[in-house]
C-alpha cells in the first residue's frame, strides 16, 4: 500500500458515456446466439422507437439479443429515455414541486430525521452556495483539512449533495500523518484531497458518519455498505412497495453502484426480504454469482435483517411526499435497523431489469403504473382547482 501522489484522485469518477456497440460485439452475439447482425439491427431499431426507448448500448447490456426472449418480453424493457418517460408519467413535473428539496441530501435527511425516520448523520457540508444552519461549513481547502484533523469523527462517507450514482463519493477511514486512508486501503494526500473537493464540488459536498452494516450482512459482503433499493409507488390508496433489490459492492469498492467493476446485484422478495440469484456484469459479460467471492457465503435464500422495518420506513418516508408517484429509496441495514441513505425521485429501473431479469413494463406492473398515473392526474387537477378558487376569492 503506497501513498498516492497529489495528482491521484480520491473521489469516484463519473463513468464514460456508453459507446456505440463495436462490430466485434455484434459478431460475437451472432456467433454465440445465432442472431444475425441484420436481425440485431432490426431489433435495436424497433426497441429504440418503442415505448422503452432502448438505445443500442442498452440493448446489448440487457441481453435483449437473446432469442429465448419473446418480442413482448423485450418490449417490456426501458432504456434511459424510457425510464425518464415512465417516471415523468408517474410523477408529472407540474405536480412534484419538491424535487430540489428531496434531491438535496443534507436538507432531505435533516427533515426525515426530525420526523423520526432513521437516516444518516451529517457532520459537515462544503458549499459556496448556501449555509446549512449550525453545521460546520469549511470555506477553503485549509479549513476542510482543519475540520478533518480536529473535529471529524471517523469513519466518514463523503458525497456530493445533489448527485446520484455514487459519483464523487469516498469512504474515509482515518488520518495517518499527512494522509487520508480510504475505505479500499489506499492512501491519499490530505492536502490534495481537500483541494480536489473544492475543485470539483465546491457547490455542495457532504460528510456523513459512515454506517456499519448489520453483522449478518457485513459477514457476507464486507465493510462497504451494500444498500437495499426499495421502490415505492403511490396510487389512490397511498404508498406501497413495488420492488426491491440488493446492491452488493465489489470487494474492492467503497460504495455499491452496479456500474463499478465487480459489483453484484440481487432481487429481493418484497414480502419476505429473501435474496434471489445474484449476478455481476452486463450483456455477454454477465454471469450468475452463487456465493460471495470473498466470504464464500451463499446469496440465494439469505433473508435481509429488519426487512419489515425497512419496508415500513420506505412507505412512511414516501407518505411525506405524496405528490411523487414513484420514489426509489436507498436503505442501509444497520445493527439497530433500517437507515434511509438517499431519496431518488427518478429511480433507475435498469437495476430492476438486471436483477429481476424482466422488463419494468411487464404485465404485472402496467396496471399499477396506470393507477399511479391516474392518481397523479387527479392530484394535479385538484391542485389547479384549489389555486383557481383561491384566486377567485381574492378578487372579491
Give dist(CA 264, CA 257) in Å, integer.
Answer: 9
Confidence bin at 16 (pLDDT 50/70/90): low
Arithmetic mean of pLDDT over the chain: 91
Structural domains in the chain plus CATH codes: 23-77 (no CATH), 99-103+215-372 (3.30.470.20), 121-209 (no CATH)
Please write the tens of the pLDDT for every residue from 162-187. Answer: 866 557 889 999 999 999 999 888 89
Choice between 253 and 233, residue whose per-residue pLDDT is larger: 233
Please write the tens of the pLDDT for every residue from 103-158. Answer: 999 999 999 999 999 999 999 999 999 999 999 999 999 999 999 999 999 999 99
For position 396, what pLDDT does the model report? Answer: 65
Cβ atoms within 10 Å, residue 289: 18
* 191-194 contact pairs (CB < 8 A, 24+): 191/6, 191/141, 191/145, 192/4, 192/5, 192/6, 192/7, 192/8, 192/10, 193/10, 194/141, 194/142, 194/144, 194/145, 194/148
Please write the tens of the pLDDT for every residue from 337-369. Answer: 999 999 999 999 999 999 999 999 999 999 999
Confidence bin at 253 (pLDDT 50/70/90): low
Confidence bin at 390 (pLDDT 50/70/90): confident
Please write the tens of the pLDDT for every residue from 191-234. Answer: 999 999 999 999 999 999 999 999 999 999 887 788 999 999 99
Give dist(CA 201, CA 286) in Å, integer.
Answer: 34
Q: Three-class SS of residue 387?
A: helix
Amino acid at each position: 500500500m503506497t501513498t498516492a501522489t497529489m495528482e491521484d484522485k480520491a473521489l469516484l469518477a463519473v463513468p464514460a458515456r456508453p459507446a456505440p456497440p463495436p462490430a466485434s460485439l455484434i459478431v460475437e452475439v451472432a456467433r454465440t446466439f445465432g442472431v444475425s447482425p441484420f436481425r440485431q439491427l432490426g431489433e435495436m431499431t424497433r426497441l429504440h422507437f418503442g415505448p422503452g426507448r432502448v438505445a443500442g448500448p442498452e440493448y446489448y447490456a440487457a441481453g435483449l439479443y437473446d432469442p429465448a426472449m419473446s418480442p413482448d418480453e423485450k418490449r417490456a424493457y426501458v432504456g434511459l429515455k424510457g425510464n425518464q418517460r415512465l417516471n415523468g408519467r408517474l410523477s408529472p413535473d407540474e405536480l412534484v414541486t419538491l424535487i430540489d428539496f428531496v434531491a438535496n441530501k443534507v436538507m432531505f435527511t435533516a427533515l426525515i430525521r426530525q420526523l423520526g425516520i432513521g437516516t444518516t448523520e451529517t457532520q459537515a457540508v462544503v458549499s459556496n452556495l448556501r449555509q446549512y444552519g449550525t453545521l460546520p461549513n469549511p470555506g477553503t481547502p485549509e479549513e476542510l483539512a482543519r475540520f478533518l484533523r480536529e473535529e471529524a469523527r471517523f469513519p466518514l462517507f463523503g458525497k456530493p449533495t445533489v448527485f446520484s450514482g455514487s459519483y464523487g463519493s469516498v469512504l474515509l477511514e482515518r488520518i495517518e500523518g499527512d494522509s487520508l486512508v480510504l475505505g479500499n486501503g489506499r492512501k491519499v494526500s490530505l492536502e490534495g484531497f481537500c483541494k480536489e473537493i473544492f475543485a470539483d464540488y465546491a457547490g455542495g459536498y457532504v460528510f456523513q458518519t459512515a454506517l456499519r452494516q448489520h453483522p449478518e450482512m457485513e459477514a457476507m459482503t464486507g465493510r462497504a455498505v451494500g444498500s437495499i433499493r426499495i421502490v415505492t409507488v403511490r396510487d389512490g390508496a397511498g404508498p406501497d412497495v413495488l420492488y426491491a433489490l440488493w446492491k452488493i459492492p465489489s470487494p474492492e469498492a467503497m460504495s455499491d453502484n452496479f456500474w463499478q467493476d465487480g459489483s453484484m446485484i440481487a432481487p429481493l422478495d418484497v414480502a419476505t426480504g429473501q435474496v434471489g440469484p445474484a449476478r455481476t456484469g452486463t450483456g455477454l459479460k454477465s454471469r450468475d454469482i452463487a456465493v460471495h467471492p470473498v466470504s464464500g457465503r451463499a446469496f440465494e435464500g439469505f433473508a435481509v435483517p429488519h426487512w419489515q422495518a425497512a419496508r415500513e420506513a420506505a412507505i412512511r418516508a414516501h407518505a411525506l411526499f405524496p405528490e411523487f408517484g414513484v420514489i426509489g429509496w436507498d436503505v442501509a441495514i444497520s445493527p439497530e435497523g433500517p437507515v434511509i441513505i438517499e431519496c431518488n425521485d427518478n429511480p433507475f429501473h435498469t437495476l430492476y431489469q438486471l436483477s429481476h431479469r424482466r422488463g419494468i413494463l411487464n404485465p404485472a406492473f402496467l396496471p399499477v403504473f396506470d393507477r399511479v398515473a391516474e392518481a397523479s392526474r387527479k392530484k394535479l387537477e385538484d391542485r389547479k382547482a384549489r389555486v383557481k378558487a383561491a384566486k377567485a376569492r381574492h378578487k372579491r
